């Protein structure tokens, strides 16, 4: 009876193969873990700076992004009701409010920048989304995000509307991505919920 | 002799038995990631990497692998390479990793890879299995790229995200449906149709022979 015919051989073989391949993957994973975490952090920081329109051209390398972020952005405190703060020369310039909600396929996470007057939008940026490339995925492109710059949050709900391309724009409206109705509707919904909730909390803080 | 065999394997993988339009294998991902050429190219690279190396590994281990657990071993090996690729993307090309989302991980269930391991690597020497896997992956990637070029050009008016004469101008009314899932079905069906017209089915002839 050869080794291969023994009843325990397949079990042992399977265990050995599993052990070897898992060991390699765990080793590889631990070698790249730090990098993956750094990438996520940089993606977030890039979104915060992007929404606030801070130095877009010169901030190409991850280290430049990280340096700019750590010198200009402060963590949320009670006075900002969950929004990150953009501080320059000891005065508050703008808020970076994190947005998070369901997209068409997977959660969308982003940042909306609002000036210290709590009305003027500086911009919007997304750091996590899995919308259809070419359709909902276009929300990360500048053609969509640039529209937010300078928009005014309306006092009545909705603060900002995402309207079809056929509708005329005003200072509270931006155009949706054509063919991505679901993404636009869901984004508009959670964006407004977040903005309204944030505004209410800010009022309470005063 | 060996060279002749290798040539035959390459030709079969690219054209005669092309995994997508001859065997209609692995088309789930062919449909999902083909609306942008760049995403498709990376997906194709992932499949080539996995088919080539998993075929090689399955072939090396084939003499020691007990038959009753061979499919478990194959899935394990395929999963191993896919995870390595996925981790590498996450660490070194995070934007692309986000674009492809779950589809890199889903290569594990791509039937082309399992199909090559079962049908070829199990019974052939490592070198030839590697070539077979490599070119099966290439055959798959080529078809995917054709689909992606047509979809991105007609649906977005760009190629690799770059402007193209005529299609990127207002003269071209973008076919949004090409970027959406139905566009993939139309394009793939037309490509399969064309390929099969050029190279008709051999099967009926065989039946006459028997």
Output the tens digit of pLDDT for each of chain A's 206 residues: 677 778 889 999 999 999 999 999 999 999 999 999 998 899 899 899 988 888 766 677 888 888 888 888 888 887 888 889 998 888 888 999 999 999 988 899 999 999 988 889 999 999 988 887 777 888 888 889 999 998 998 888 888 889 988 888 888 899 998 878 889 999 999 999 999 999 888 888 77
DSSP bridge pairs for A125: A111
What ranges make up the beta strands (E) of A11-154? 73-74, 84-88, 91-102, 107-115, 121-128
Q: How many CA atoms lie within 13 A of A91 on its CB side?
A: 4
Residue entry with tokens 């999963």: B79
pLDDT at position B202 over 70: no
- B182, pLDDT greater than 90: no
Q: What predicted TM-score, i.e. pTM, was given to this entire model?
A: 0.77
What whole-number distance in Å separates Cα of residue A129 and Cα of residue A191? Answer: 14
Tell me whether strands B162-163 and B158-159 are parallel, antiparallel or unpaired.
antiparallel
DSSP code at position A59: -
Chain B residues with at least one Cβ partner in A under 8 Å = 35-36, 39, 61, 64-66, 68-69, 72-73, 76-77, 80, 83-84, 87-88, 90-92, 94, 98-99, 101, 152, 155-156, 176, 179-180
Tokens representing residue A201 in the block: 């909390």
Statement: residue B207 has pLDDT above 50:
no
- Contacting residues of A for B36, CB less than 8 Å apart: 133-134
Paired with A86 in beta bridges are A73, A94
Select from A36, A105, A178 the Cβ nearest to the Cβ of B176: A178
Q: What is the pLDDT of residue A28?
A: 94
In this predicted structure, what is the pLDDT of residue B81? 94
- Cβ(A127)–Cβ(A43) under 8 Å? yes
**A177 → chain B, closest CA residue:** B176
In chain B, the residue whose alpha carbon lies closest to the alpha carbon of A134 is B179
Pick A179 or B135 by higher pLDDT. Answer: B135
The single-letter DSSP state of residue A152 is B
Q: What percent of chain B has pLDDT over 90?
A: 23
Whether A40 and B98 lie within 8 Å, measured CB to CB: no
The residue of chain B nearest to residue A19, with distances taken between CA atoms, is: B76
Measured distance CA(A30)–CA(B166) in Å, rounded = 49
- Mean pLDDT of the region B100-121: 83
Nearest CA-CA partner of B140 in B53, B26, B9: B26
Backbone angles phi, psi at A131, to 5 degrees: -75, 165
Q: Taking CB atoms and an 8 Å limit, are A36 and B94 in contact across chains?
A: yes
A18 vs B contacts (CB less than 8 Å): 76
Q: Name the nearest CA neighbour of B18 among B159, B96, B115.
A: B115
> A100, A103, A101, A84: which is closest to A182 by C-alpha?
A103
What distance in Å separates residue A87's CA from the closest CA in chain B?
Answer: 29
Torsion of CA B161, B165, B169, B175, to 10 degrees: -60
Q: What is the mean pLDDT of chain B?
A: 83
| Residue A60 forms contact with B (CB below 8 Å) | no
Residue B85 has pLDDT above 90, yes or no: yes
Whether A181 contacts chain B with CB within 8 A: no
Three-state DSSP class for residue A61: coil
């Amino acid at each position: 009876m050869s080794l291969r015919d023994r009843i325990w051989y397949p079990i042992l073989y399977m265990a050995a193969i599993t052990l070897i391949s898992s060991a390699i993957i765990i080793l590889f994973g631990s070698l790249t873990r730090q990098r993956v975490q750094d990438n996520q952090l940089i993606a977030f920081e890039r979104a915060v700076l992007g929404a606030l329109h801070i130095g877009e051209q010169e901030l190409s390398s991850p280290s430049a992004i990280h340096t700019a972020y750590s010198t200009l952005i402060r963590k949320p405190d009670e006075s900002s009701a969950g929004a990150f703060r953009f501080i320059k020369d000891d005065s508050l310039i703008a808020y970076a409010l994190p947005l998070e909600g369901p997209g068409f396929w997977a959660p969308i996470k982003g940042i909306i920048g609002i000036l210290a007057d709590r009305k003027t939008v500086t911009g919007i940026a997304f750091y996590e989304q899995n919308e259809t490339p070419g359709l909902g995925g276009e929300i990360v492109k500048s053609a969509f995000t640039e529209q937010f710059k300078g928009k005014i949050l309306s006092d009545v709900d909705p603060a900002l509307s995402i309207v079809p391309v056929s509708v005329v724009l005003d200072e509270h409206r931006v155009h949706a991505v054509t063919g991505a109705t679901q993404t636009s509707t869901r984004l508009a919904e959670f964006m407004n919920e977040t903005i309204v909730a944030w505004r209410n909390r800010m009022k309470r803080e005063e | 002799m060996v060279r002749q065999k290798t040539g035959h394997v390459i030709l079969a993988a690219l054209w005669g038995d092309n995994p997508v339009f001859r065997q209609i294998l692995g088309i789930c991902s062919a449909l999902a990631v083909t609306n942008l050429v760049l995403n498709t190219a990376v997906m194709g690279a992932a499949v080539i990497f996995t088919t080539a190396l998993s075929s090689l590994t399955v072939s090396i281990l084939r003499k020691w692998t007990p038959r009753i657990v061979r499919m478990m071993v194959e899935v394990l090996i395929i999963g191993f390479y896919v995870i390595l690729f996925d981790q590498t993307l996450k660490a070194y090309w995070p934007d692309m990793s986000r674009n492809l989302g779950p589809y890199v991980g889903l290569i594990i269930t791509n039937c082309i890879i399992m199909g090559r391991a079962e049908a070829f690597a199990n019974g052939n020497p490592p070198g030839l299995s590697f070539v077979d896997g490599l070119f099966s992956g290439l055959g798959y990637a080529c078809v995917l790229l054709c689909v992606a070029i047509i979809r991105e050009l007609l649906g977005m008016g760009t190629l690799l995200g770059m402007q193209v004469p005529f299609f990127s101008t207002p003269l071209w009314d973008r076919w949004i449906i090409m970027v959406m899932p139905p566009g993939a079905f139309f394009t793939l069906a037309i490509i399969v149709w064309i390929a099969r017209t050029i190279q008709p089915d051999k099967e009926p002839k065989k039946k006459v022979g028997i």
